């Protein structure tokens, strides 16, 4: 590795936290970590990669990048109803910039600790800037929130305000301008998404299906509909709004809300008999539509007319 600091010093200095987790018997420093899942629990395992120039820009704030790397992975655990436990970091750096690494590690550990997850190992190599995280969580057998369980008659619900992150990205790319205070809020959504871990845990035994919105609400909803063999109607008037979205032309706000992506909100279905428990959930959620037997996604504009979306969301290879 280039620079004064070698690979092993780098790991020791920045990525060897005093790991306190009852299920971590051996952490960073040996050939493998040793994990002890709670008795009778299943492991939920997910991994996500972030590549410079694709998922972020090289001059992005490293603290935010560390945060977001953890957030996108914990969001997948949340969407499955799993409790976060262990993280494994794959870091590829063109050179060692200690200030950068320290800030990246700060952002990563702050969010991990907030959710009781511990860094248990990883790999460090030299190459074009990229990083991946593998996150492992626990859940009781049979408790996972799958994409397959949506049934006709279920309510379709979403957390947070999908579309704000996309508004932040469009602002950053100069596609539209937001007033300063609103731009800051939208950019915070883009760079510092908050994984809905507590909500995911609360939805165990309640939601019939769930997914986290990473590639756009319409596209990710499409995955639930296909996996469950159902369709849905979404009313645009019921999509959560905010000062950021209200500051944009309506058609642009709808596009961000439905196809923007990078939201890391939970989209889930609730049987009608569970609707009375919506207010018990740990995060505000909105009911945006209904699951129906007829396949396909029907979007209804506020005036009652059918609405067509030109582009449903993000696809790396499309």
Kindly report the backbone phi and psi dihedral angles of residue 149, in degrees, each rounded to the nearest multiple of 5, phi listed first: -100, 5
Does residue number 59 form part of the binding site for Mg ion (CB under 5 A)? no
As measured in angstroms, the least distance from the Cβ of 133 to ligand ADP is 10
Q: How many CB atoms lie within 10 A of CB 68?
A: 25
Contact of 160 with 35, CB cutoff 8 Å: no
Q: How many CB atoms lie within 10 A of CB 295?
A: 12
Does residue number 30 form part of the binding site for Mg ion (CB under 5 A)? no
Q: Which is nearer to ligand ADP, 5 or 247 (CB)?
A: 5
Stretch that binds ligand ADP, among 29-37, 71-79, 241-249, 257-265 (CB under 6 A): 29-37
Q: Which is nearer to ligand ADP, 29 or 205 (CB)?
A: 29
Does residue number 250 form part of the binding site for ligand ADP (CB under 6 A)? no
Distance CA(209)–CA(84), nearest Å, equals 19
Does residue number 112 form part of the binding site for ligand ADP (CB under 6 A)? no
Distance CA(14)–CA(277), nearest Å, equals 43
Stretch that binds Mg ion, among 25-33, 92-100, 125-133, 296-304 (CB under 5 A): 25-33
Task: Give residue for tokens 């919506």.
Answer: 278
Does residue number 273 form part of the binding site for Mg ion (CB under 5 A)? no
Stretch that binds ligand ADP, among 68-76, 122-130, 153-161, 220-228 (CB under 6 A): 122-130
Contacts of 117 (CB under 8 A, 6+ apart): 21, 70, 74, 84, 85, 86, 87, 135, 137
In which element (H, E) is residue 8 found? helix 7-14
Name which of residues 146 to 185 contact ligand ADP (CB under 6 A).
Answer: none
Does residue number 31 form part of the binding site for Mg ion (CB under 5 A)? yes
Residue 208 interacting partner from Mg ion, ligand ADP, none (CB closer than 5 to 8 Å by kind): none
Kindly report the backbone phi and psi dihedral angles of residue 120, in degrees, each rounded to the nearest multiple of 5, phi listed first: -110, -5
CA-based nearest residue to 72, from 261, 260, 226, 224: 261
Q: Which of 69, 89, 101, 245 binds ligand ADP (CB under 6 A)?
A: 89
Helices 164-172 + 180-191 axis angle, to 10: 110
Does residue number 135 form part of the binding site for ligand ADP (CB under 6 A)? no
Q: Which is nearer to Mg ion, 121 or 163 (CB)?
A: 121
Helices 98-114 + 7-14 axis angle, to 10: 40
Q: Which of 64, 66, 107, 121 binds ligand ADP (CB under 6 A)?
A: 121
Residue 119 interacting partner from Mg ion, ligand ADP, none (CB closer than 5 to 8 Å by kind): ligand ADP
Q: Which of 71, 78, 119, 207 binds ligand ADP (CB under 6 A)?
A: 119
Q: Which is nearer to ligand ADP, 26 or 278 (CB)?
A: 26
The string over 83-92, giving b where at least 16 C-beta atoms fall within 10 Å of a residue's C-beta and e elsewhere, is: bbbbbbbbbb
Q: Which of 46, 73, 75, 124 binds ligand ADP (CB under 6 A)?
A: 124
Q: Which is nearer to ligand ADP, 36 or 237 (CB)?
A: 36
If phi > 0 it is left, if psi is from -120 to 50 it is alpha, else beta; for residue 281 that is: beta
Q: What is the DSSP letter of 55?
A: T
Q: Which of 29, 53, 229, 296 binds ligand ADP (CB under 6 A)?
A: 29
Q: Which is nearer to Mg ion, 32 or 318 (CB)?
A: 32
Does residue number 273 form part of the binding site for ligand ADP (CB under 6 A)? no
Distance CA(52)–CA(202), nearest Å, equals 35
Binding residues for ligand ADP, per CB under 6 A? 11, 15, 28-31, 89, 91, 119, 121-124
Residues at the contact surface with Mg ion, assessed by CB under 5 A: 31
């Amino acid at each position: 590795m280039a620079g004064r600091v070698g690979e092993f010093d780098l790991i020791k200095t920045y990525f060897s936290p005093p790991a306190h987790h009852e299920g971590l018997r051996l952490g960073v420093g040996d050939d493998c970590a040793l994990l002890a899942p709670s008795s009778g629990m299943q492991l939920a395992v997910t991994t996500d990669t972030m590549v410079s120039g694709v998922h972020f820009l090289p001059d992005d704030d490293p603290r935010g990048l560390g945060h977001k790397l953890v957030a996108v992975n914990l969001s997948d655990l949340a969407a499955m109803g799993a409790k976060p436990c262990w993280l494994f970091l794959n870091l590829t750096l063109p050179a060692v910039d200690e200030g950068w690494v320290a800030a990246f590690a700060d952002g990563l550990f702050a969010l991990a600790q907030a959710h009781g997850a511990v860094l248990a190992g990883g790999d460090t190599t030299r190459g074009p800037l990229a990083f991946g995280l593998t996150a492992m969580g626990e859940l009781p057998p049979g408790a996972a929130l799958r994409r397959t369980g949506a049934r006709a008659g279920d309510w379709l619900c979403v957390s947070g305000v999908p579309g704000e992150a996309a508004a932040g990205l469009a602002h950053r790319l100069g596609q539209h301008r937001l007033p300063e205070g609103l731009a800051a809020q939208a950019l915070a959504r883009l760079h510092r998404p908050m994984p809905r871990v507590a909500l995911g845990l609360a939805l165990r035994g309640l939601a019939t299906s769930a997914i986290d919105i990473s590639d756009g609400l319409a596209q990710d909803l499409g995955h639930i509909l296909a996996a469950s063999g159902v369709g849905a109607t979404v009313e645009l008037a019921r999509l959560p709004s905010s000062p950021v979205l209200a500051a944009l032309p309506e058609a642009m706000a709808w596009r961000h809300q439905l196809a923007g992506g990078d939201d890391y909100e939970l989209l889930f279905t609730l049987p009608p008999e569970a609707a009375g428990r919506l207010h018990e959930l740990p995060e505000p959620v909105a009911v945006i539509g209904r699951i129906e037997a007829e396949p396909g996604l029907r979007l209804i504009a506020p005036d009652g007319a059918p609405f067509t979306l030109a582009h449903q969301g993000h696809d790396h290879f499309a």
